[in-house]
Amino acid sequence: MTVDRGQVLRAAAALLTRKSTASMDEIARAAGISRATLHRQFAGRDALIRALEELCIEQLQGALDGARLEQGDPVEALRRLVAATHPVAGFLAFLYTENQLFEGEEIHEGWARLDARVAALFRRGQEEGAIRLDLTPAWLTEALYGLVAAGAWAVQDGRVAANDMDYMVIELLLGGARRSTDR
């Protein structure tokens, strides 16, 4: 029997975004294969997580490409980016916390490329006067990832409607939590 590695990774991602503590046995069951077959594909959980990370980077790269970050108004580009990341938000949420387990390792090259592109969008927004200057592009990038991850968890737990997530992420990121007194 030939195992479709991509299908196994998609099944693992779907399970781990809902249950980050899932065992290799649970992951194998979700993928419709035996634990032994899973271990032939991935030497252990770390190897599986690294493969998932590569898949996520690939998907996020596609989302960044689709959002056309370099085109048009930077705020509109940011809105397109949040909408484009929505389909992989749960996966990003899982990896955003899972990567903390790999302390001491160098940042993955793929994440660095993604970070650079998102930070460039924020920098462009600052240069064009659309984004505040007192927060660094690196911080805004991390805040974006954190809000997308939090949105994914809130949707997963039923605390936020999926249709509201993009709006809530953008409005909190751009407007902050402070109530406007300009009414």
The pLDDT tens digits for 120-167 are: 999 999 999 999 999 999 999 999 999 998 898 888 788 999 999 999
User: What is the rounded average pLDDT of the residues 16-26?
Assistant: 85
Q: For residues 82 and 169, give the distance between their C-alpha atoms in angstroms, rounded to a whole number.
A: 8
Q: For residues 160 and 68, give the distance between their C-alpha atoms in angstroms, rounded to a whole number.
A: 27
Q: Looking up tokens 């809000």, which residue turns up?
A: 147
The closest of 51, 55, 45 to 20, measured between CA atoms, is: 45
Q: Looking up tokens 């781990």, which residue turns up?
A: 16
Q: Is the pLDDT of residue 17 over 50?
A: yes
Angle between helix 89-98 and helix 45-67 axes, rounded to 10 deg: 130
Statement: the pTM of the whole predicted model exceeds 0.75? yes
Residues with Cβ < 8 Å from 54, sequence gap 6 or more?
Answer: 110
Q: What pLDDT is attached to residue 35? A: 93
**What average pLDDT does the chain have?**
86
CA 121 to chain centre: 17
